[in-house]
Amino acid sequence: MASSSLKVGAVVITMGNRPDELRALLDSVAKQDGDPVQVVVVGNGSPVPDVPEGVRTVELPENLGIPGGRNVGIEAFGPSGRDVDVLLFLDDDGLLAHHDTAELCRRAFAEDPKLGIISFRIADPDTGVTQRRHVPRLRASDPMRSSRVTTFLGGANAVRTQVFAEVGALPDAFFYAHEETDLAWRALDAGWMIDYRSDMVLYHPTTAPSRHAVYHRMVARNRVWLARRNLPAVLVPVYLGVWMLLTLLRRPSRPALKAWFGGFREGWATSCGPRRPMKWRTVWRLTRLGRPPVI
C-alpha cells in the first residue's frame, strides 16, 4: 500500500484542565504534512475545552481511566478504528515537534506490513532531554537510537488499526499503568512488530509518574494482572518475583511501599480479565529483542 493512501487519525483524552496545552497540541497536529489528520478529543469525565473547527469531541459522564478513554476514541473512528488505517495517541499536554511525523508514520507502516505499533521519542520542550524511562527498552542510554522494542509509550505512539481489529483494544479495567504493555504483548503474540523511532518526537514537560496519587497501587495491581493475563503459567511467579525485588531495591517510602503491596494483593484477589497466555515462540521473540518477559 502506498504511504499516501494511508488514512491517519488521532485520539487525545483530556480532563479539561489544560486548555492552552490542548490547543497547542491540536495546532501541531493540524500542521502535519500530507493529508489532514482526523482528530477526536475525548473528555474523560469532563467537558472538552474549545477546540478548532473540524475536531470531533466526545464527552464522557465519568472518568474511564486512560485505556477506557482511549478505547472510546478508537471506536469514534468506527469499530476498532477501521475508518482510518493508523491512529496517533497523544497526551493533551504534549506537542508534535515536527511537521513530518504523520508522513513518517504513513511511510513506516506502508513499507513494513508487519509493523503494528510505533513508539515516539518524548523530549522535554525546554532542554530537549529524553528521560531514560521514556525509551522502551532495557538498553536505554542512547535515546537517539531507533530500534525494535517490546512495548511502547502510551501518550506518544501510532498504532495500525488492524492491530485492534485482530487482538482487541486496551484493557479498560487497568485504568492507569501497564495497559500499553498488555496490548504490546498481545500484538507481538499475533506476529506484529513494534518500533521505537527517535525521529518522531513529542515534546512533553518532564514529570514523574509518581505524581499520581494512585501510582504505586495501580502499578503493582496491574503488573499482577498483566502477568496473569499474558504469561505462560511457569513465568508468572518469576516475572512478579523479579519486579518485587526491583521495587524493594529502589527503597520506596513506607507509604509508597504499603500502597504497592496493597495493589499487589489486589492483583491476585480480583479478576484480571480473560487469560490468553502468549506462545513460547513469543517469549523467545521478546528475549531476542532484548527484553525477556521476566523483567
pLDDT digits (tens, 9 = 90+) for 16-36: 999 999 999 999 999 999 999
Domain extent at residue 282: 213-289
Mean pLDDT along residues 140-164: 97
Q: What percent of the chain has pLDDT over 70?
A: 98
What is the total count of domains within the chain? 2
The reported pLDDT for the residue numbered 162 is 98
Residue 295 lies in a domain: no
Residue 154 lies in a domain: yes
User: Percentage helix, strand, coil, to 5, in the chain?
Assistant: 40, 20, 40
Question: Which segment of 68-82, 156-170, 248-262 scores lowest on mean pLDDT?
Answer: 248-262
d(CA 258, CA 249): 15
| Range list of H helices, 31-160 | 65-75, 101-111
Residue 65 lies in a domain: yes
185 and 253 share one domain: no
d(CA 11, CA 252): 34
121 and 63 share one domain: yes
266 and 120 share one domain: no
The reported pLDDT for the residue numbered 209 is 67
Q: Is the pLDDT of residue 2 over 90?
A: no
d(CA 115, CA 111): 9
238 and 180 share one domain: no
What grid cell was written down for 206? 518532564
Where a domain ends, among 169, 203, 237? 203
Residue 294 lies in a domain: no
Residue 1 lies in a domain: no
* pLDDT tens digits, 241-288: 999 999 999 999 999 999 999 999 999 999 999 999 999 999 999 999
pLDDT-based confidence at 213, cuts 50/70/90?
low
CATH number of the domain where residue 110 is located:
3.90.550.10
The 3-class secondary structure across 203-256, one letter per residue, is ECCCCCHHHCCCHHHHHHHHHHHHHHHHCCHHHHHHHHHHHHHHHHHCCCCHHH
Angle 91-97-102 from CA coordinates, rounded to 5°: 80
d(CA 243, CA 245): 5
pTM: 0.96
Q: Are 163 and 117 in contact (CB under 8 A)?
A: yes
**Please, what is the end-to-end C-alpha distance for the chain in angstroms?**
37
165 and 283 share one domain: no
Q: Is the pLDDT of residue 212 over 60?
A: no
The reported pLDDT for the residue numbered 294 is 93
Where a domain ends, among 184, 203, 222? 203
Residue 98 lies in a domain: yes
Mean pLDDT along residues 56-82: 98
Residue 208 lies in a domain: no
The total number of residues shown for the chain amounts to 295
Beta pairing, strands 56-59 & 115-123: unpaired
Q: Is the pLDDT of residue 4 over 80?
A: no
